[in-house]
């Protein structure tokens, strides 16, 4: 399932992340993120201070999870390295090879003629609409279960991420994102952690590294753009998600990195956990009280 991965994320995915995450978060085609995305806010000075403090964090995840990996590897008669390689090979081997007519790209000349009026009421002008990704008229003929299977399997071999989100979960995520559009998430790297700044704009969420945001501010480029398509929400009770990794001028995230960020995003924005919600609220409404150490504790509890 994964085309590339860091050792840290490989450890987390093999041992900690829920199975449902990997069933839902599959991979879509890579499209460049918008050329100009504005990361901004009125709490710039405090966010910059948080960035300075957080980027000093260095957690050795190799040591932290090595004993668990070693135990599993020994049970299978393998080395840790062989265990990781075998796991990745199995995931790639079992990728479904399915093409569905409903998710073939709509011809360019027809894109502007499908549900344009309805889509424009739900999206900002810069956001793509579902009819530009799929043959929406065909997809609407299917039941929610079939749509989920079509969307997931079609994107399984693509070098990005996708998901099918239950309407109730997305509604909660969307309402929280309107109140608290900004947050940071730490992501394990091979050595230590890298913090990412995220910002919602309507049904899209943009991620950039905290280091890039600290140095470039509103000119920071998005490393990952997650788009939610709510066109099926009312009729089918689901929301389709597609995450696109920016490779211009240089790709900074692997597919597995994007998986982790999407997973962590859902755990903080589609949750009833008051500790997580409080962190999101503090970051937006009272950043002077935000403590990234509390964030690290919460991340540690979910991975």
Look at residue 53 in the predicted model and tell me its pLDDT: 60
Structural domains counted in the chain:
2
Domain's final residue, options 43, 75, 95: 95
Say whether both 72 and 178 belong to one domain. no
Say whether both 87 and 169 belong to one domain. no
- Residue 160's Cβ-count burial label (10 Å; 0-12, 13-18, 19+) is buried
In a domain, 288, yes or no: yes
Say whether both 269 and 145 belong to one domain. yes
Look at residue 27 in the predicted model and tell me its pLDDT: 27
Domain's final residue, options 73, 95, 117: 95
Say whether both 230 and 271 belong to one domain. yes
Say whether both 272 and 142 belong to one domain. yes
Look at residue 212 in the predicted model and tell me its pLDDT: 85
At residue 157, what are phi and psi to the nearest 5 degrees? -100, 10
pLDDT tops 50 at residue 66:
yes
In a domain, 33, yes or no: no
In a domain, 11, yes or no: no
Say whether both 280 and 149 belong to one domain. yes
Say whether both 280 and 164 belong to one domain. yes
Average pLDDT over residues 176-196: 89
In a domain, 137, yes or no: yes
pLDDT tops 50 at residue 32:
no
Look at residue 220 in the predicted model and tell me its pLDDT: 84
Say whether both 87 and 197 belong to one domain. no
In a domain, 260, yes or no: yes
Say whether both 163 and 235 belong to one domain. yes
The confidence band for 90, taking pLDDT boundaries of 50, 70 and 90, is low
In a domain, 276, yes or no: yes
Domain's final residue, options 76, 95, 114: 95
pLDDT tops 60 at residue 246:
yes
Q: In percent, how much of the chain has pLDDT > 90?
A: 37
Say whether both 175 and 246 belong to one domain. yes
User: Where do we find the tokens 């509103």?
Assistant: 218
Long-range CB contacts (within 8 A, 24+) of 23-26? 23/152, 24/152, 24/163, 24/164, 24/165, 25/161, 25/162, 25/163, 25/259, 25/262, 25/263, 26/1, 26/152, 26/153, 26/155, 26/156, 26/158, 26/161, 26/162, 26/163
Say whether both 142 and 271 belong to one domain. yes
In a domain, 231, yes or no: yes
For 194, the enclosing helix (H) or strand (E) is strand 193-201
Q: Over the chain, what is the mean pLDDT?
A: 72
pLDDT tops 50 at residue 175:
yes
Report the range of poorest mean pLDDT among 148-152, 243-247, 249-253, 280-284. Answer: 249-253
Say whether both 69 and 163 belong to one domain. no
Q: What is the DSSP string of 44-108?
A: HHHHHHHHHHHTT----HHHHHHHHHHHHHHHTT--HHHHHHHHHHHHHHT------GGGSPPPG
In a domain, 229, yes or no: yes
Domain residues for the domain of 83 are: 61-95
Q: What is the distance between the alpha carbons of residues 92 and 158, in angstroms, rounded to a whole number? A: 12
């Amino acid at each position: 399932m994964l085309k590339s991965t860091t050792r840290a994320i490989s450890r987390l995915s093999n041992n900690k992340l829920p199975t449902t995450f990997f069933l839902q978060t599959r991979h879509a085609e890579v499209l460049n993120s918008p050329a100009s995305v504005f990361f901004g806010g009125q709490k710039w000075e405090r966010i910059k201070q948080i960035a300075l403090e957080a980027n000093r964090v260095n957690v050795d995840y190799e040591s932290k999870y090595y004993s668990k990996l070693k135990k599993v590897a020994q049970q299978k008669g393998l080395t840790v390295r062989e265990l990781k390689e075998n796991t990745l090979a199995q995931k790639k081997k079992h990728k479904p090879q399915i093409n569905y007519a409903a998710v073939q790209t709509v011809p360019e000349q027809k894109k502007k003629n499908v549900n344009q009026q309805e889509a424009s009421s739900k999206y900002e002008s810069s956001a793509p609409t579902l009819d530009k990704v799929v043959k929406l008229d065909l997809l609407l003929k299917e039941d929610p279960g079939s749509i989920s299977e079509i969307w997931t399997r079609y994107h399984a071999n693509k070098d990005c991420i996708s998901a099918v989100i239950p309407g109730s979960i997305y509604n909660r995520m969307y309402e929280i994102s309107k109140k608290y559009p900004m947050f940071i998430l730490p992501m394990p790297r091979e050595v230590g952690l890298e913090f990412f700044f995220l910002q919602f704009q309507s049904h899209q969420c943009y991620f950039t590294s905290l280091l890039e945001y600290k140095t470039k501010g509103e000119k920071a480029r998005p490393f990952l753009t997650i788009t939610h398509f709510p066109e099926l929400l009312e009729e089918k009770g689901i929301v389709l998600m597609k995450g696109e990794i920016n490779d211009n001028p240089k790709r900074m995230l692997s597919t597995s990195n994007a998986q982790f960020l999407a997973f962590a995003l859902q755990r903080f924005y589609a949750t009833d956990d008051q500790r997580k919600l409080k962190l999101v609220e503090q970051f937006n409404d009272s950043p002077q009280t935000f403590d990234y150490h509390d964030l690290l504790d919460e991340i540690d509890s979910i991975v």
